[in-house]
Structure 1
């Protein structure tokens, strides 16, 4: 690599990092999750530069070699993020086991899953019936349908946890129930995603191999978790958290490569390593290790979306229409928000809490983007449908805060009217 190319690569890296920081700042000002700003800023930079400076200008700002470096760093960020996602799922699941509400959680999880599956099937059926290769792609129908369904059933546990913390709802009924339901949903979604990706080869043996790799990975993760929970290892983590974080990151990257070799996605490998991390809530050696990895991932993940914005969304997207985007958005909201509300009501929750649970479960965030990326990388989702899913994920996540605020105002008005209603002699 020449000196000029090194400088241009460094310039592209600095620009991408600035975009991520700027996106986070805009999101905070708009009272939105920071990930929305990171993703949006990264995705629009490619089309913006293309519109202003043309293809030659885009190649000058983001040369091919620079994009290769950004892609590697961005994928490393995703690997680190997935370790954190899996660890947070374990923490949330452990918390649910300690504070089990049994039937209510099951009904809410089922309510948020079954209608969302129906919505996903309806959307997949619509795309197959359209027969547009720009939206349908060339993947086998079973793989395509399963991945589309998972795209509409995902709830982003990390973003949900952040929203609950920002609004002081972690200990509330709606907070604990929505988190527990989201964890159960995601626990079902990951194996289904593995099957869908395995079916992308067009052979049932691919799905069986995916299940075998996933099952073997879970066994290894459970054994590794026991080893990592020992006092000797935990004590070393407490003294050298950054060394352990680096070793864990290397292990996650290696596991990602192994799963990729078996025809799955690197996402599942990193996720399995995250499941091996002992669950700790806020303190302790492993919480410090995962916290350090989370800080690194927050800086690197935006690079991934810059690469997507330059490579995917500056090319032809076929007959992408707003009708398809609106259909995806409406079905996604109806399945998760409506299903979550219905499940909460069946579980005995009052309407006010049920509405909030539905809104919270409609949060998709970066976990949804990772599912979309898995389908896109496996060739199941074409670029136009990938973009449709990104718009849907960003919109549903951005809706969470305003909808919760609207519900707060509606409930406040009702509380003010309640005393006057009781005093009315009529």
Structure 2
């Protein structure tokens, strides 16, 4: 690295953190999650404003790979936290309701997304139309689990039956989404990548085999131990090695740490999970804003004309309508009251950073072109921003917050999940 690159790197990091944190604080004051401000920061620093002069001056091409590397580390650790926060016990006592709501929340928007993909193919050609169609259905089916958990906690829904069901449903939707995305990447990778993807089976077996070792590290003699720097380093090494492993398999580096977090033995880290999430979240809180800016540098809204606005309207309409209708229908089929079903449907429309990660994979695979990627990022921003106002509207129409009328005791695992998510959302 030259001296000029070093100067720009540090200047860029300081500017990113300042703008992301500043906008995050501002949007919180209007009832939005901080991730909205951080996404806006990325778009504002991108080529959309001032004809790209800010982006070209502050983020020249020789510095962007350095920022991308930092962003990739942040996303990898973020995916580890997402996997770690998936609470297996959240499904207990509500398996059927969770499965049905998750099916509606995934299948209906997926079908709507497939239909939308055929419409978008007119102006956004790709060499792999079949993979593009599947990817679009998948991109409209996701829910941002960490952002959702934060919204549930901040609105006092954590102790409600609906809040617990939303967390469990989002967890299941996440597992399906990441698994399906891995399959899409395997197909796009071509025949030469299939054998490498098959290595996921022995890789999973290795993660399961080291579970006893993890138990001995965190519970020597069967007794829980404090989270020392050495134990935290052990966990982070596992997450980063898992990233390298899945990237080498021809999949994306995000799958490895997610799977590592999911397969960590829950009984060994039960008392330390919040602390692990908090400490790792302190790292991602610095690195994730870099990811938003790296993503924002690829968002260019300067050329969006009337046709682009029509496409954006169609994307938002399908994304919101498919997710809301599917989740609502799935919840109602299990005799969940209409008000609670509508609240669950509104919550599941949250997309946030999870959507940006998936869109980044689509852009990297060549399934999305620049203009469509930009429109999809705006969709992610809009659908996440509308969750809070939509919940407030439901509260006003139904006579008060849901949590005051459905104040059942929240299971311990779900409470931990909601608390831990606040460090990453």
Residue ranges of structure 2 left out of the alignment (5+ in a row): 403-425
Partner of residue 95 from structure 1, selected from 90, 93, 96 = 90
Deviations 1:93-121 (A, max 9, x none): 32223xx2232222212221221121111
Q: How does 1:194-273 map to 2 (within 5 A)?
A: 194-203=182-191, 206=193, 209-210=196-197, 212-230=198-216, 232-234=217-219, 238-273=225-260
TM-score for the superposition, normalised by structure 1? 0.86
Q: What is the root-mean-square deviation of aligned Cα atoms in Å? A: 2.8
Residue in structure 1 matching 2:125, options 123, 128, 136: 136
3-state secondary structure, aligned to 2:289 = helix
What's the offset of the Cα at 1:82? 0.4
1:344 aligns with 2:331: yes
1:102 to 1:272, Cα distance in 2 relative to 1, 3 A: closer
Alignment partner of 1:296 is 2:283: yes
Shift of residue 59 of structure 1? 3.4
Say if 1:257 and 1:266, in contact at 8 Å, map to a contact too. Answer: yes
Cα separation, 1, equivalents of 2:370 and 2:115: 20
Within the candidate set 132, 151, 174, 1:186 is matched to 174
Alignment-derived partner of residue 416 in structure 2: none
**1:293 to partner: Cα distance:** 0.7
SS in 2 for 1:47: coil
Is this contact kept in 2: 1:142–1:196, CA < 8 A?
A: no
Q: 1:326 aligns with which of 306, 313, 333?
A: 313
CA deviations 1:173-198 (Å, max 9, x no partner) are 21111222222222222221111111
Q: Which has the higher contact order (CA 8 A, sep 6+)?
A: 2
CA distance in 1, matches of 2:157, 2:184: 35
Q: How many residues align?
A: 400
Structure 1 pair 413–184 and aligned structure 2 pair: CA distance change class (3 A): closer
Aligned-partner SS, 1:155: coil
Aligned to 2:413: none
Pick closer, same or farther for the CA change 1:413–1:260 going to 2, 3 Å. Answer: closer
Contact 2:112 2:322 in 1 (8 A): yes
Q: Give 1 or 2 for the bigger CA radius of gyration.
A: 1
Report the 3-state secondary structure (helix = DSSP H, G, I; strand = E; otherwise coil) of the residue aligned with 1:264.
Answer: coil
- Distance 1:237-1:30 versus aligned 2 partners, 3 A rule: farther
Alpha-carbon distance change, 226 to 11 in structure 1, aligned in 2, over 3 angstroms: same
1:354-387 CA-to-partner distances (Å, cap 9, x unmatched) read 1101111111111111111112122222222222
Residue 393 of structure 2, aligned match among 406, 410, 414: 406
What is the rounded CA distance, in whole Å, between the counterparts of 2:43 and 2:390 in structure 1? 25
- Whole-angstrom distance in 2 between the partners of 1:22 and 1:414: 29
1:373-384 equivalences under 5 Å are 373-384=360-371
Question: Residue 385 of structure 1 is aligned with which of 372, 391, 394?
Answer: 372
Counterpart in the other structure of 1:121: 114
Distance 1:342 1:186 in 2: 19
Assess, with a 3 A threshold, how the Cα gap between structure 1 residues 175 and 413 changes in structure 2: closer, same or farther: closer
2:29 is the alignment partner of 1:32: no
Deviations 1:215-264 (A, max 9, x none): 3333333333343234x434699445433333433332332223222321
Return the match for 2:346 from 331, 355, 359.
359
Higher helix share: 1
Give the 3-state SS of the residue equivalent to 2:366 in structure 1: coil
Under a length normalisation based on structure 2, what TM-score does the superposition of the two structures give? 0.86
- Give the Cα–Cα distance (whole angstroms) in 2 for the partners of residues 411 and 245 of structure 1: 46
Cα distance in 1, alignment partners of residues 301 and 349 from structure 2: 29
2:9 paired with 1:14:
no
8 Å Cα contact 1:255-1:270 kept in structure 2: yes
Closer/same/farther in 2, CA of residues 401 and 161 from structure 1, 3 Å limit:
same
CA–CA distance in structure 1, aligned partners of residues 44 and 401 of structure 2: 42
The alpha carbon displacement at 1:5 in A equals: 3.4
Contact 2:211 2:264 in 1 (8 A): yes
Distance verdict in 2 for CA 1:269–1:318, change over 3 Å: farther
Which residue in 2 is equivalent to 1:284? 271
Structure 1: runs of 5+ lacking an equivalent: 416-426
> Which residue of 2 is the match for residue 419 of structure 1?
none
Tell me if structure 2 keeps the 8 A contact 1:154–1:189.
yes
Does the 8 Å contact 2:106/2:323 carry over to 1? yes
